[in-house]
């Protein structure tokens, strides 16, 4: 919503200066986006100095000038003026400028093969004089410090630009803004000057509102103005239209626009001679078409509110008029429309057809249904003043009675909500200034709501009115109470928080990527989840919700590899989506690692990252989170985006059905498809939703501290087992032999090759044996030794390696 | 007697000379071995007359001790010398780089969420969450934003079905609805999380983060709202004083509604919060609309309170001097390293938000 302060003063009698008014606007909730001079065409004309002049290579009469326009570099301008010479101060017009004399718009152009950026102007071109032989010469002593400055003083008024919230249609007109300022004590509201206009004769074009289902129009007011002469608008009106940031068109169009922005009363003018007999306001039928004033053809659906005549649709009521009945400069007779359209109907139609106009914007938010006649009067008066013509009597068709809404307001509600008090007298004054009609009954106020405030429907709205006019600065700042109702974080949130920092502490950079991704990449990682399409994606490569965090992680990993990074560790903790209903999502940690360990290291040999790097990180993270490593169970099953032989899944317990984590090398096919170039690419995922609550809590008392000081013994074994045999099973067998004596089991070598059959491998194990009752004798040790060998051999089919 | 003294002096002298460990061991054998000189004297003890024996035994023992001490200290001396000379050759260049530790980083958004949670925890708020996918009802209708409300146009919504029934939440406000539907007042919660709008340019990202706040009880008014936000802003920016301005505004789910500006000044091209005469809009808030309370079966005649919504990313940008919102989500390793936080820097009440 744009206007000048002077326009505001058409309605507001005030002693406040501009800045005070601007501040008041903000205080009452009309947010000031800007308060600036309108960009004038004349701002394009700059004081310039010619630095150098050269002969044009291809034209005798042209010269190429290097011109200083206050920028860092000079620019080249081709000039034919004989007086263009070095060190001359003159006026430069850049590309985009409009030359006052002939309204020509400048562009960057090639003149005989040399590009010219703008032009140097003669006095006649600037409408300064008739001097057209040569460019303007400015006195160097006056202009030497003004290079690059505007040549013309900007005389245009400053324009206020308000950002009006959708609840305040009344402030989409200057008068509504003035009314708010009056209520806030900025002055007095001026009466609308209503010189009596003479209305002669009836409105001869019949208007009818058809009683269609969901008819979008409830009032249609109109008048005929006959025998007028449409013309260019007078200067004052042009200025107003320009201050809105719009282009003046003709007096009739400009006046209807002016009244809309002045009183928030949209109007429409039809060329009365183009109307076929009568005006029929009705619902459209599917397939009807018409050409709108935006020069587009629209095909209508059923039940859109249209203004039509005998021949068909003239316009979409309250949204846009049509070309068939539009006014032109030679229009002689007009029908002026001032109507009320229901917001819901306007919104539905404009959404379907994707049309946005100033009228639509206003009707959609709710226009004052009682402004029909005020609007007709003001527009008709201005039109006859400027264009002449005779005004008919007003014809008002109505399908329902308009009554003012009423509210009972208990004044005590105000303090209850805002925490501060305003005197009853002041409450009444504020509401009266805002246009409420009030009758007081003890503590209750009976309020009639002004018809321009469709947003006000209940007592809480009245609280806001009083509060904003009185000023939010009156609200106290109360110290916050520190009472807590519930723990800050629940179990799952604590887990999230802990895991996040646990993974980061292992050298991973946390990233946050979008919850959507490219379906092509997502397909590589979605396993058996459903693809969830976004109907209106921001771009075609962000068209699905992610089924895995890996799609984005690998995408961005590649970007960083392309930046020249090699050894990258990235992770994200966030949602992945199983399906498209609320709640069908999981919280997952995804982590990827590329390149090598110990690259370019002076004391350690480098190697590519591998599955055991990420296994370590995943397992250690879970251990830090409080889960018991001894109970973990690893399976070699994992989703298909992992390397089938170099990946696994982690179960908190052997009997669990759901794994809580996966780890492994990313499938080489995927690495190839994504064109990722690195020595190694591994990753892991942890599913927070599958992590069970700990049975033993940190707050619980710990078990008794028991320890043994008896001598420990270590024994080494090497078992030859089938190649596919799992080390985890071997350890399980040994640890179950004697839980009291076997304290720890470590695998210190795995060997395949010479001296071992092709389908076998050798696993070397170190077992620590210690009793808590006595020092073990050689014979005890020998016994347990033998037991380990026989048990392993019988349960696993292994052979001890001699 | 003089014989053994002679032996003693002879060997003490020997032991003073430059010997290696083997040399010392040889001496040890010569003295205390099976046929060692001192051993032989001990063997003779039995043949001495009683009166001499006692004295001789005592002398012999003290000489033995003296020699043994000498031997031990000599061995020690040699060993020390040997180690020292060995160390001379073992010197390393300690200015060579240490073994590598890869330091991880926490994303600024996560750090800021933790800071926010920590601050609100101090004044009794708990953290709630809601799904990223919402239905139309929770995201709009229940929040007093019916389908024909123009305020919906201010949310460029991503839809997941053609009926526009399922969508990506455009704000964290639906968590208010879910929380209130699932519980009984009083409510005192914050809800940080991801939010989505189909808007993408220099200052808008199709995904961003918000934190919702909600406090409903019997007598919670706008003064409490102002106090709470004043406390939060001061704590978050870790300044003693803050300039804050409430401006009337409009959100369908609050009434009265306000936008909150904080004062700032520009210093060396960076925004400094707290002082200065410029205003920066940082959040929207208001008293929860009675219609919203009715929608979640809370009696608006009995209960009232406030709600607010703050852009988390923007708070982070302001506090940590980050200029570009879009960079938050572009996973540039250099950016993450530069703006990320050490995972050990956990914001907390007792330790403070930051180092």
For residue A580, give the nearest of B166, B249, B333 by CB distance: B166
From the centroid of its chain, how far is CA A244? 26
What pLDDT score was predicted for residue A421?
94
Asked if residue B98 belongs to a domain, the reply is no
Is the same domain home to A722 and A756?
A: yes
Phi/psi for B69 (5° steps) reads -55, -45
Please tell me whether residues B82 and B197 are part of one structural domain: no
Residue B349 counted as domain residue = no
Answer yes or no: do A413 and A547 share one domain: no
Positive or negative: CA dihedral A347, A350, A354, A360:
negative
pLDDT at A697: 76
Residue-wise pLDDT for B233-271, tens only, equals 999 999 888 899 999 999 999 999 999 999 988 888 778
Chain B neighbors of A348, CB-CB under 8 A: 148
Tell me which chain A residues have a C-beta less than 8 angstroms from the C-beta of B152: none
List the domain range (segments joined by +) for residue B44.
2-86
Residues A25 and A48 both lie in one domain = no
Domain at B312, CATH number: 3.30.930.10
What interhelical angle do A372-387 and A251-263 show, nearest 10? 150
> Which chain B residues are within 8 Å of A581, Cβ to Cβ?
133, 135, 166
* Boundary residue ending a domain (A472, A501, A522): A472
Reported as a single tens digit per residue, the pLDDT across A165-193 is 989 999 999 999 999 999 999 999 998 87
CB contact under 8 A, B160 and A532: yes
Question: Using the beta-carbon criterion (under 8 Å), do B248 and A508 form an inter-chain contact?
Answer: no
Instruction: Return the CATH number at A431.
Output: 3.30.56.10
Which residues of chain A have a CB within 8 Å of the CB of B200? Answer: 538-539
CATH number of the domain where residue A304 is located? 3.50.40.10
Do the domain assignments include residue B339? Answer: no
Phi, psi of A262 (to 5 degrees): -80, -50
Choose, out of A165, A469, A489, A601, the residue to mutate when testing the contact with B (most B CBs < 10 Å).
A165
Write the DSSP string, A309-371: ETTEEEEETTTEEBSTT---TT---EEEEEEEE-HHHHHHHHHHHT---HHHHHHHH---GGG
Q: Are residues B155 and B216 in the same domain?
A: yes
Domain assignment present for B102:
no
Q: Choose, out of A167, A434, A542, A566, the residue to mutate when testing the contact with B (most B CBs < 10 Å).
A: A167
Q: Is A224 in the same domain as A338?
A: yes
Q: What is the DSSP string of B94-115?
A: TTSPPPP-PPPBB-HHHHHHHH
CA distance A628 to A279: 83
In a domain, B307, yes or no: yes
- Do B65 and B26 share a structural domain? yes
DSSP state string for A411-454: THHHHHHHSS---HHHHHHHHHHTT-EEEEETTEEEEEPPTT-T
On whether both A212 and A185 belong to a single domain, the answer is: no
Residues B145 and B199 occupy one common structural domain: yes
Do B211 and B315 lie in one domain? The reply is yes
| Residue A701 counted as domain residue | no
pLDDT for the residue B241: 86
Q: Determine, for residues A582 and B196 on separate chains, whether the beta-carbon distance falls below 8 Å.
A: no
CATH assignment of the domain containing A735: 3.30.70.380
Residues A88 and A172 occupy one common structural domain: no
* Candidate from B153, B248, B255 with C-beta closest to A472: B248
Classify the C-alpha dihedral A657-A661-A664-A669 as positive or negative: positive
Q: Closest partner residue to B132 among A485, A515, A535, by Cβ?
A: A515
CB atoms A417 and B222 under 8 Å: yes
Could you tell me if B125 and B242 lie in one domain? Answer: yes
CB within 8 Å of B209: residues ≥ 6 apart: B109, B113, B192, B193, B194, B195, B311, B312, B313
The answer to whether A475 contacts B101, with C-beta atoms less than 8 Å apart, is no
Cβ contact (<8 Å) for B333 and A563? yes
Burial of A35 by CB count in 10 Å (0-12 exposed, 13-18 middle, 19+ buried)? middle
Of B159, B332, B343, the CB nearest to A505: B343
Helices (H) then strands (E): counts for chain A: 19, 45
B204 and B115 in one domain?
A: yes
The mean pLDDT of chain A is 91
Residues of chain A below pLDDT 70: 38-41, 154-156, 194-195
- pTM of the predicted structure, to 2 decimals: 0.84
Q: Inform me whether the C-beta atom of residue A417 falls under 8 Å from chain B C-beta atoms.
A: yes
Q: Which residues fall within 8 angstroms of residue A459, CB to CB, at 6 or more apart? A: A407, A408, A409, A410, A413
Q: Are residues A442 and A307 in the same domain?
A: no
Partners of residue B180 in chain A, C-beta under 8 Å: none
B53 and B192 share a domain? Answer: no
| Angstroms from A595 CA to nearest CA on chain B | 14
* Residues within 8 A of B (CB atoms), A 298-327 only: none
How would DSSP label each residue in A689-719?
Answer: GGPPPPSS-TTSPPPP-----SPPEEEEEEE
Q: Is A581–B166 a contact, with Cβ atoms under 8 angstroms apart? A: yes
Same structural domain for residues B163 and B30?
Answer: no
Question: Do A260 and A293 share a domain, yes or no?
Answer: yes
Q: Which residues of B touch A456 (CB under 8 A)?
A: none
Judged by a CB distance cut-off of 8 A, whether residue A605 touches chain B is no
B343 vs A contacts (CB less than 8 Å) = 500-502, 504-505
Q: Which residue of B has its CA nearest to A515?
A: B207
A509 to B188: CB separation less than 8 angstroms, yes or no:
no
Number of domains chain A contains = 6
Nearest to A419 among B109, B221, B328 (CB): B221
CB B109 within 8 A of CB B313: yes
Q: Does A354 touch chain B (CB under 8 A)?
A: no
Q: Scanning the structure block, which residue is given the tokens 């009006």?
A: A164
**A516: domain CATH number?**
3.30.930.10
Minimal CA separation from B249 to chain A, in Å: 5
What chain B residue is nearest to A569 in terms of C-alpha separation?
A: B104
Query: Is B93 contained in some domain?
Result: no
- Contact (CB<8Å) A538/B121: no
Same domain, A309 and A268: yes
Residue ranges in chain B whose pLDDT is less than 50: none
pLDDT (0 to 100) of residue A40: 64
Query: Are A309 and A291 in the same domain?
Result: yes
Contact: A556, B224; criterion CB under 8 Å? no
Q: Kindly state whether residue B172 falls inside one of the protein's structural domains.
A: yes
A167 contacts in chain B (CB < 8 Å): 151, 250, 252
Cβ separation of A510 and B337 shorter than 8 Å? no
Domain range for residue A430? 406-472
In terms of CA atoms, which chain B residue is nearest residue A497? B114
Distance of CA B314 to the CA centre of its chain: 22
End-of-domain residue from the set A88, A113, A143: A143
Q: Cα separation of A512 and B313, whole Å?
A: 11
Which has the closest alpha carbon to A222: A298, A273, A177, A279?
A: A279
Amino acid A485: pLDDT: 85
Name the domain count of chain B.
Answer: 2
In this predicted complex, what is the ipTM? 0.87
CB contact under 8 A, B104 and A419: no
Q: Is B95 a domain residue? A: no
User: Which residues of chain B lie closer than 8 angstroms to A624, CB-CB?
Assistant: none
Is the same domain home to A540 and A604?
yes
The answer to whether A518 contacts chain B (CB < 8 Å) is no
Mutate to test the interface with A, among B221, B233, B260, B332 (most CBs of A within 10 A): B221
CATH code where residue A123 lies = 2.40.50.140
Q: Are residues B26 and B119 in the same domain?
A: no
Is A488 an 8 Å CB contact of chain B? Answer: yes
Residues A26 and A99 in one domain: no
Of B245, B259, B287, the CB nearest to A417: B287
Contacts B250 to A, Cβ<8 Å: 29, 165-168
For residue B102, list chain A residues with Cβ-Cβ distance below 8 A: 506-507, 569
Tell me, yes or no, whether A162 lies in a domain: yes
Cα of B272 to nearest chain A Cα, Å: 22
Does residue A679 lie within any of the structural domains? yes
Residue among B138, B151, B330 whose CB faces A166 most closely: B151
Q: What pLDDT does residue A105 have?
A: 82
A277 SS3 class:
coil
Per-position DSSP letters for B326-350, written without gaps between them: GGGGS--HHHHHHH-B-TT---BTT
Residue B238 near residue B250 (C-beta atoms within 8 A): no
């Amino acid at each position: 919503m744009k206007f000048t302060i002077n326009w505001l003063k058409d309605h507001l009698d005030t002693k406040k200066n501009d800045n005070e008014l601007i501040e008041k606007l903000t205080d009452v909730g009309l947010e000031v986006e800007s308060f600036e001079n309108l960009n004038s065409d004349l701002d394009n004309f700059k004081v310039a100095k010619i630095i150098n002049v050269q002969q044009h290579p291809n034209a005798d009469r042209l010269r190429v000038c290097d011109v200083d326009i206050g920028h860092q570099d000079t620019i080249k301008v081709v000039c034919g003026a004989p007086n263009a010479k070095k060190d001359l101060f003159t006026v430069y017009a850049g590309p985009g400028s409009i030359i006052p004399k002939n309204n020509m718009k400048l562009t960057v152009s090639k003149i005989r093969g040399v590009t010219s950026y703008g032009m140097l102007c003669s006095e006649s071109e600037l409408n300064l004089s008739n001097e057209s032989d040569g460019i303007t010469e400015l006195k160097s002593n006056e202009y030497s410090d003004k290079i690059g400055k505007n040549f013309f003083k900007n005389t245009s008024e400053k324009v206020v630009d308000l950002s009006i919230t959708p609840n305040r249609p009344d402030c989409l007109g200057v008068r509504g803004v003035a009314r708010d300022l009056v209520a806030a004590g900025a002055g007095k509201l001026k009466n609308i000057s209503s010189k009596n206009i003479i209305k002669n004769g009836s409105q001869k074009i019949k208007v009818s509102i058809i009683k269609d289902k969901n008819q979008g129009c409830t009032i249609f007011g109109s008048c005929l103005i006959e025998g007028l002469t449409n013309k260019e608008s007078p200067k004052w009106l042009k200025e107003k239209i320009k201050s809105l940031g719009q282009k003046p068109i003709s007096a009739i169009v400009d006046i209807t626009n002016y009244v809309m922005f002045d009183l928030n009363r949209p109007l429409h003018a039809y060329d009365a001679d183009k109307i076929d007999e009568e005006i029929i306001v009705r619902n459209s039928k599917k397939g009807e078409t018409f050409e709108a004033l935006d020069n587009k053809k629209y095909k209508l659906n059923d039940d859109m509110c249209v203004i039509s005549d005998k021949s068909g649709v003239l316009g979409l009521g309250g949204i846009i008029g049509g070309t068939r009945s539009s006014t032109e400069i030679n229009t002689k007779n007009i029908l002026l429309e001032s109507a009320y359209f229901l917001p819901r109907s306007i919104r539905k139609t404009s959404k379907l057809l994707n049309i946005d106009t100033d009228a639509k914007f206003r009707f959609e938010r709710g226009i004052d249904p009682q402004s029909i006649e005020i609007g007709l009067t003001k527009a008709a008066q201005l039109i006859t003043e400027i264009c002449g013509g005779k005004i008919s009597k007003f014809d008002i068709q109505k399908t329902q009675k308009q009554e003012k809404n009423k509210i009972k307001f208990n004044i005590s509600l105000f303090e209850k909500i805002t925490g501060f008090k305003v005197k009853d007298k002041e409450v009444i004054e504020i509401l009266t200034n805002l246009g409420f009609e009030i009758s007081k009954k003890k503590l209750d106020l009976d309020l009639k709501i002004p018809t321009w405030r469709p947003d006000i429907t209940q007592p809480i709205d009245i609280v806001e009115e009083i509060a904003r006019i009185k000023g939010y600065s009156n609200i106290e700042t109360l110290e916050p109470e520190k009472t807590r109702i519930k723990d800050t974080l629940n179990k799952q949130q604590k887990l999230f928080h802990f895991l996040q920092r646990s993974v980061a502490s292992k050298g991973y950079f946390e990233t946050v990527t979008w919850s959507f991704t490219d379906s092509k990449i997502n397909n590589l990682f979605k396993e058996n989840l459903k693809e969830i399409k976004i109907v209106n994606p921001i771009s075609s490569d962000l068209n699905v919700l992610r089924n895995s965090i890996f799609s984005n992680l690998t995408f961005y990993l590649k970007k960083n590899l392309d930046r020249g990074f090699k050894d990258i560790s990235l992770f994200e903790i966030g949602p992945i989506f199983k399906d498209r209903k609320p709640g069908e999502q999981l919280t997952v940690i995804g982590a990827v690692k590329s390149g090598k360990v110990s690259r370019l290291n002076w004391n350690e040999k480098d190697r590519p990252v591998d599955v055991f790097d990420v296994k370590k990180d995943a397992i250690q993270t879970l251990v830090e989170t409080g889960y018991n490593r001894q109970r973990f169970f690893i399976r070699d099953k994992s989703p298909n985006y992992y390397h089938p032989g170099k990946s696994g899944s982690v179960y908190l317990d052997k009997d669990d059905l759901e794994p809580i984590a996966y780890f492994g090398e990313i499938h080489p096919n995927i690495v190839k498809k994504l064109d990722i170039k690195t020595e190694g690419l591994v990753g892991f995922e942890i599913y927070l939703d599958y992590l069970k609550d700990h049975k033993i809590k940190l707050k619980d008392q710990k078990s008794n501290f028991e320890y043994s000081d008896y001598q420990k013994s270590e024994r080494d074994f090497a078992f030859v087992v089938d190649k596919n045999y799992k080390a985890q099973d071997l350890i399980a067998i040994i640890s179950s032999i004697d839980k009291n004596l076997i304290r720890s089991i470590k695998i210190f070598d795995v060997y395949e090759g010479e001296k071992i059959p092709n389908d076998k491998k050798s696993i070397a194990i170190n077992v620590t044996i210690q009793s808590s009752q006595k020092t073990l004798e050689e014979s005890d040790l020998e016994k347990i030794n033998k037991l380990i060998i026989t048990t392993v051999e019988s349960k696993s089919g292994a052979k001890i390696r001699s | 007697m003089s014989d053994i003294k002679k032996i003693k002096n002879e060997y003490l002298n020997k032991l003073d000379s430059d010997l290696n460990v083997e040399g010392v061991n040889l001496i040890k054998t010569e003295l205390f071995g099976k046929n060692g000189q001192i051993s032989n004297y001990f063997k003779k003890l039995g043949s001495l007359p009683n009166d001499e024996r006692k004295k001789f035994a005592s002398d012999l023992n003290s000489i033995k001790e003296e020699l043994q001490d000498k031997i031990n200290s000599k061995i020690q001396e040699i060993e020390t010398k040997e180690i020292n000379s060995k160390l001379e050759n073992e010197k390393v260049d300690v200015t060579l780089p240490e073994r590598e530790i890869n330091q991880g980083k926490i994303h600024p958004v996560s750090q800021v969420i933790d800071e926010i949670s920590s601050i609100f925890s101090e004044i009794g708020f708990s953290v709630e969450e809601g799904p990223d996918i919402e239905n139309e009802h929770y995201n709009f209708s229940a929040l007093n934003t019916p389908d024909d409300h123009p305020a919906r146009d201010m949310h460029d919504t991503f839809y997941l079905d053609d009926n526009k029934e399922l969508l990506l939440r455009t704000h964290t406000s639906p968590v208010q609805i879910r929380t209130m539907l699932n519980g009984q007042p009083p409510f005192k919660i914050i809800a940080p999380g991801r939010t989505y709008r189909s808007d993408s340019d220099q200052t808008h990202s199709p995904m961003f983060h918000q934190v919702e706040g909600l406090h409903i009880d019997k007598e919670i008014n706008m003064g409490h709202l102002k106090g709470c936000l004043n406390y939060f802003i001061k704590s978050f920016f870790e300044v003693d004083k803050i300039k804050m301005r409430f401006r009337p505004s409009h959100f369908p789910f609050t009434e009265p509604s306000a936008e909150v500006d904080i004062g700032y000044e520009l210093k060396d091209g960076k925004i400094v919060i707290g002082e200065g005469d410029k205003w920066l809009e940082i959040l929207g808030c208001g008293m929860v609309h009675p219609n919203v309370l009715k929608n979640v079966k809370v009696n608006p005649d009995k209960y009232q309170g406030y709600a607010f919504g703050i852009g988390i990313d923007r708070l982070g940008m302001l506090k940590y001097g980050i200029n570009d919102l879009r960079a938050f989500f572009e996973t540039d390793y250099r950016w993450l390293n530069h703006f990320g936080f050490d995972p050990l820097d956990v914001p907390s009440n007792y330790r403070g938000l930051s180092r």
